[in-house]
C-alpha cells in the first residue's frame, strides 16, 4: 500500500496563493480589466468570504456548497417520482 504523505488518488491539490484559494483571483482579474469602485468592493468581498471559508471554517469551497445545499434541502429525500404522479 501507499506510505507517505499523499495517497495516489490525492494527486490534484487545489491551486492556492499562500493560503487563499485561486478562485479569489477571478474578481481581481476583473478589477484589472475593468477598474472601478464596485469591482474593487466585489473583489475584496469575494476574497474575504473565501478566506473565511478556507481558513476559519477549514472547508473547501465544494464542501461548503454541499453543506449549504444540505441545509436548504435537508437530509431526508423523497422517493416519490413527481413526474409519474402528475402523469396519472
pLDDT at 16: 80
Q: What is the mean pLDDT of the chain?
A: 84
Residue 6 CA to residue 69 CA, distance in Å, equals 29
pLDDT at 6: 58
pLDDT at 5: 63
Alpha helices in the chain (DSSP H): 25-33, 37-51, 61-73, 82-87
Amino acid at each position: 500500500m501507499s506510505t507517505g504523505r499523499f495517497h495516489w488518488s490525492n494527486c490534484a491539490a487545489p491551486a492556492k496563493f499562500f493560503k487563499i484559494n485561486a478562485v479569489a483571483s477571478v474578481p481581481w482579474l476583473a478589477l484589472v480589466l475593468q477598474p472601478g469602485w464596485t469591482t474593487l468592493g466585489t473583489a475584496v468581498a469575494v476574497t474575504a468570504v473565501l478566506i473565511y471559508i478556507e481558513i476559519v471554517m477549514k472547508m473547501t469551497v465544494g464542501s461548503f456548497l454541499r453543506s449549504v445545499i444540505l441545509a436548504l434541502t435537508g437530509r431526508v429525500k423523497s422517493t416519490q417520482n413527481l413526474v409519474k404522479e402528475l402523469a396519472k
